[in-house]
C-alpha cells in the first residue's frame, strides 16, 4: 500500500463515513451544509442555543417525510470570522452564522432511512428541492 500502512491512513483521515454536500435540506436548528451516516454540519443563526456535548433532538426534513433525530453537539464554530466588507455587512444586518457539527445517535429505523435517502440523492448530485416542496405542500 505504498509508503503508508492502513493504520497510518486511518490516523491521517479519522472520518468514519464519507460525507455529501446538501442543498435545500433543513432541520429545526438550521440548514444542513453536509451530511454523512454519522452526523451532519448545520449552518444556524448565531444565537442558536447550543454548546459542545449538548444533546439535541432535531426535526429533519427529508425527501419524503419529516423525522426527529437525536444528536450530540461535537463542535461549534462562528462562521462570520472573515474580514472584509461582506463580513461587516452580515454583522450589520444580523446575518452572522454558526456552524455546528452534530453526531447522530440512537437513530430510529425511519431516521436511518431518511438520512440514507438524502445521502443517496446528494451523492448522485440530484436536486431534491422539487420533491421536498411537493411533500411540504401535501403536509400543510
Question: How much is the pLDDT for 15?
Answer: 52
Domain assignment present for residue 10? The answer is no
- Secondary structure string (H, E, C) spanning 66-124: EEEEEEEEEEEEECCCCCCHHHHHHHHCCCCEEEEEEEECCCCHHHHHHHHHHHHHHHC
Domain membership of residue 25 as a residue range: 15-139
Mean pLDDT of 22-31: 81
At CA 16, angle to CA 39 and CA 59, rounded to 5? 10
Q: How many residues does the chain have?
A: 140
State the total domains in the chain: 1
For residue 39, is pLDDT > 80? yes
Domain assignment present for residue 3? The answer is no
Domain assignment present for residue 5? The answer is no
Q: What is the pTM of this model?
A: 0.66
Domain assignment present for residue 8? The answer is no
Domain assignment present for residue 1? The answer is no
pLDDT single digits (tens) 100-126? 999 999 999 999 998 888 878 776 655
Domain assignment present for residue 2? The answer is no
Distances (CA, A) of 96 to 47, 72, 82, 102: 9, 23, 11, 19
Domain assignment present for residue 42? The answer is yes
Amino acid at each position: 500500500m505504498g509508503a503508508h500502512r492502513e493504520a497510518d491512513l486511518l490516523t491521517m483521515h479519522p472520518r468514519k463515513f464519507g460525507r455529501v454536500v446538501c442543498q435545500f435540506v433543513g432541520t429545526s436548528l438550521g440548514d444542513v451544509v453536509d451530511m454523512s451516516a454519522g452526523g451532519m454540519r448545520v449552518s444556524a443563526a448565531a444565537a442558536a442555543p447550543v454548546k459542545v456535548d449538548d444533546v439535541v433532538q432535531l426535526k429533519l426534513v427529508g425527501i419524503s417525510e419529516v423525522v426527529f433525530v437525536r444528536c450530540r453537539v461535537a463542535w461549534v464554530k462562528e462562521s462570520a470570522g472573515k474580514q472584509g466588507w461582506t463580513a461587516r455587512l452580515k454583522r450589520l444586518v444580523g446575518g452572522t452564522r454558526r456552524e455546528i457539527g452534530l453526531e447522530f445517535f440512537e437513530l430510529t429505523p425511519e431516521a436511518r432511512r431518511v438520512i440514507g435517502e438524502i445521502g443517496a440523492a446528494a451523492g448522485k448530485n440530484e436536486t431534491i428541492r422539487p420533491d421536498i416542496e411537493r411533500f411540504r405542500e401535501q403536509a400543510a
